[in-house]
Amino acid sequence: DGGITQSPKYLFRKEGQNVTLSCEQNLNHDAMYWYRQDPGQGLRLIYYSQIVNDFQKGDIAEGYSVSREKKESFPLTVTSAQKNPTAFYLCASSMGQYQPQHFGDGTRLSIL
């Protein structure tokens, strides 16, 4: 089945620790995105990538980093600089401009 796979489903971070969230897609989509959603709030764009080896900051990139070495993969690292990382993280991909985005089932990150 084609789709987007995020892992892990739940993740706990200790103070001062970097953690990496995985996102893999087999839809052959060029564009991939990371969003953050806080309880009762809308989605906010963290980073996006329209092509391999290229990515741009979204609205709330501080404290996060990404890489796009393969078309299928767009991992997100939540660094220790992100002081309030507790949220629901969603990865998405799309075929191209003006096309809808398709989401993975998300990772819930909490602070220990």
Partner 1 sequence: RKEVEQDPGPFNVPEGATVAFNCTYSNSASQSFFWYRQDCRKEPKLLMSVYSSGNEDGRFTAQLNRASQYISLLIRDSKLSDSATYLCVVNHNAGNMLTFGGGTRLMVKP
Given the rule CB under 8 A, which of 14-22, 29-37, 64-72, 73-81 is the region that contacts partner 1? 29-37
Q: Which of residues 64-103 bind partner 1 (CB under 8 A)?
A: 88, 90, 94, 96-103
Given the rule CB under 8 A, which of 12-20, 30-38, 63-71, 76-84 is the region that contacts partner 1? 30-38
Nearest CB to partner 1, comparing residues 63 and 106: 106
Residue 110 vs residues 38, 70, 73, 89: alpha-carbon distances, Å = 12, 28, 23, 11
The rounded distance, in Å, linking the Cα atoms of 25 and 27 is 6
The rounded distance, in Å, linking the Cα atoms of 83 and 63 is 8
Strand 19-25, strand 76-78: pairing: antiparallel
Residues near partner 1 (CB under 8 A) are 31, 33, 35, 41-43, 45, 48, 50, 58, 88, 90, 94, 96-106
